[in-house]
Amino acid sequence: MRQSTSKRVLVTGGAGFLGSHLCERLLADGHEVLCVDNYFTGSRHNIVHLMDHPDFELLRHDITWPLYVEVDQIYNLACPASPVHYQHDPVQTTKTSVLGAINMLGLAKRLRARILQASTSEVYGDPDVHPQPEDYRGNVNTTGPRACYDEGKRCAETLFFDYHRQHGLPIKVVRIFNTYGPRMHPNDGRVVSNFIVQALQGRPLTIYGDGSQTRSFCYVDDLIEGFVRFMDTPEQHTGPLNLGNPGEFTIRELADMVIRLTNSSSKIIAKPLPQDDPKQRRPDIARAKALLDWEPKVRLEEGLKRTIAYFDRALDRHELARAAE
């Protein structure tokens, strides 16, 4: 029997890494889910196990075009999130962030639906404040190769808060820090997936610079828990809200851990540091702790074991080889 609190929920980017996990969680919580994706970086493979669920619906659509559906809540996750993908077509990346936000906000306004924006720690740029609290305004290069994503997401946040102020729209804005787990794209250029694929193939693990730059890695289940809890908070809590793991590791430490956990014979090689690559990244999650009683529970080593098992099980070596080409 359907729960009386059940809602019809739209998840844009629902066939992507984070979106597929969110769809799964929402269905488990008893909601109807409309998954929307244009498959630029998402994949039907990520949600094929949900296709026969009676409360799951899939729609192929690009949110740079208006969408006319009836829902109670919207999670706006649609946008390529790794440098390899968002720099492939930077103009389209900006359009997805900005026009996509306008279209989803317009839909939410018509329906008076609560809407959550998946923003990013990239709005902080290469930070000169560490760790990064939500009131830090960032250090972003507006003309660099990462700006299509960084500035697109910053503009999307502006639109969300202006719709809230001008139209009283119930919004939630989360800033996602590095997240990893099963269903990551093997060729997305992110450090966790790069290292795992390289280690499983016995190829050298590529670090940039001397590997001393730091990142904080949040397991996907912890992030999704934060999403759901924040969406359910009272309307006056709009964010922005950092969601991520405050545990901080150097890139070289991560490489060493992946090699050990995969029992790989891979070596580590260094290449020049890309332009505007942040030297350090760690969230201040004091607000999330206080508001949501939330903090990550999955330790990096345990999360890596689960992610490695996914890559090893779900992708045979030939598929990994093709993905890495």
Transcribe 147-206 into DSSP letters. Answer: HHHHHHHHHHHHHHHHHHHHH---EEEEEE--EE-TT--TTS--HHHHHHHHHHTTPPEE
Structural tokens at position 103: 């279209």
* Domain ranges (residues) in the chain: 8-179+220-246+280-298
Which CATH number does 8-179+220-246+280-298 carry?
3.40.50.720
pTM confidence score: 0.93
pLDDT at 324: 46
| For residues 306-321, average pLDDT | 75
Q: What rounded mean pLDDT belongs to the chain?
A: 92
Q: Over the stretch 241-251, which tens digit does the pLDDT of each residue have?
A: 999 999 999 99
Rounded Cα distance, 132 and 281, in Å? 7
Q: Can 149 be counted among the known catalytic residues? A: yes
Considering the candidates 124, 149, 180, 219, report the single residue annotated as catalytic.
Answer: 149
| For residues 219-238, average pLDDT | 98
Q: Which of 176, 162, 159 is nearest to 225 (CA)?
A: 176
**Tokens 């929307």 found at:** 36
| For residues 209-234, average pLDDT | 96
Q: Which of 145, 141, 158, 149 is nearest to 94 (CA)?
A: 149
73, pLDDT greater than 60: yes
